[in-house]
Amino acid sequence: METRAICTDCGFVSSDRVLKDSCPACGAPRSVFEPFEDRMSPARRKWLNQRAHQIMVAFPQVFVTVLFLSLICIALAPPRTAVLVHVKYTAKTLSLLVPFAVLGALITGYIDGRVRFTRLSGRFIRIKRNAGILLFACSCALASMIAVFGFKGPTAWITILVSLFALALSIVLGKLGGRLVCSEICEKQ
């Protein structure tokens, strides 16, 4: 069976056979590598290697960021700016897509959690789950507000504030996700 080694500096795992003089991820010398024994079953490892959750979370992150910037543009641009009609169209489309994207991230995140951890009651996981559900609620509220009230009127700034909150949530979720992926402490045997 092929033996593998892990970089004790950055956690990069490589097959012994292809490992050269330094870590291809962080550049640390080969001497920092230690033999790596995967405690995870091949089926579990195969699912995690798909990176489904990491790929899915990119969508709400990008959508929420572009939506926030679009709303700011709509609020600040002079009313007759020609490009505004396209920005409004983009914002409206994104506001409808965000809830589905968040839902996809929540579902793959739940599956990832079940595969990766023995229990889902840890502090980080609880915070991440609650923030994810809150982001879903925010995105549904945003889609409804934009569909009902559009971009003008007294609710415009409330829409921008909710979208800023959604953006902040997605950043917090991304940071927490990074910490969870790096921790191997409670990985399933």
Write out the binding residues for Zn ion, residues 58-77 only, by CB under 5 A.
none
What long-range pairs does 145-152 form, CB within 8 A, spacing at least 24? 146/91, 146/92, 146/95, 147/92, 147/95, 147/96, 151/71, 151/74, 151/75, 151/88, 151/91
Write out the binding residues for Zn ion, residues 4-43 only, by CB under 5 A.
7, 9-10, 12, 23, 25-26, 28
Decide: is 100 part of the binding site for Zn ion (CB under 5 A): no
Q: Nearest-CA neighbor of 60 among 127, 157, 143, 182?
A: 143
Write out the two tokens for 39.
């405690």
Closer CB to Zn ion, 25 or 158, in the complex: 25
Closer CB to Zn ion, 7 or 56, in the complex: 7
Closer CB to Zn ion, 26 or 182, in the complex: 26
Cα separation, 65 vs 67, in Å, equals: 5
Closer CB to Zn ion, 14 or 95, in the complex: 14
Q: How far is the CB of 26 from Zn ion (least distance, A)?
A: 3
**Residues lying near Zn ion in the complex (CB under 5 A):** 7, 9-10, 12, 23, 25-26, 28
